[in-house]
């Protein structure tokens, strides 16, 4: 009997939960805020679904009922992607060691 592809996706999902578990425990507590902002940014990879939906419109009707939701989702996800990565970068730039100090 053939294995349903769903099972493979489920396997990836469950293994990723385990990876997430161990990786996140190793994150230093002082970086928990950047952790949240970066997870925010990466979860916006949902934009791939939005792009697929948005590109489904035909040339006569670029904005049909389905694609319009895709377009709005693109804006939302893009705010998150740019905002999330940039604000993370801004925060991480501030973390400095003692010896880096100029004063």
Residue 94, token pair as written in the block: 């501030």
| CB-nearer residue toward another protein: 1 or 5 | 5
- The span from the CA of 42 to the CA of 73, in Å, is 15
Burial (Cβ within 10 Å: 0-12, 13-18, ≥19) of residue 88: buried
Task: With both helix axes pointing from N to C terminus, report the angle between 47-54 and 65-94 in degrees, rounded to the nearest 10.
Answer: 150
CB of 1 to another protein, least distance (A): 17
CB of 102 to another protein, least distance (A): 10
| CB-nearer residue toward another protein: 2 or 25 | 25
CB of 23 to another protein, least distance (A): 5
């Amino acid at each position: 009997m053939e294995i349903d592809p769903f099972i493979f996706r489920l396997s990836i999902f469950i293994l990723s939960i385990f990876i997430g578990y161990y990786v996140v425990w190793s994150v230093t507590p002082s970086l928990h805020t950047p952790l949240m902002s970066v997870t925010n940014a990466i979860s916006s990879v949902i934009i791939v679904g939005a792009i697929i939906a948005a590109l489904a419109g035909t040339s006569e009707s670029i904005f049909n009922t389905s694609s319009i939701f895709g377009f709005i989702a693109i804006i939302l996800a893009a705010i998150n992607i740019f905002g999330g990565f940039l604000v993370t970068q801004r925060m991480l730039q501030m973390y400095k060691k003692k010896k880096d100090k100029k004063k």
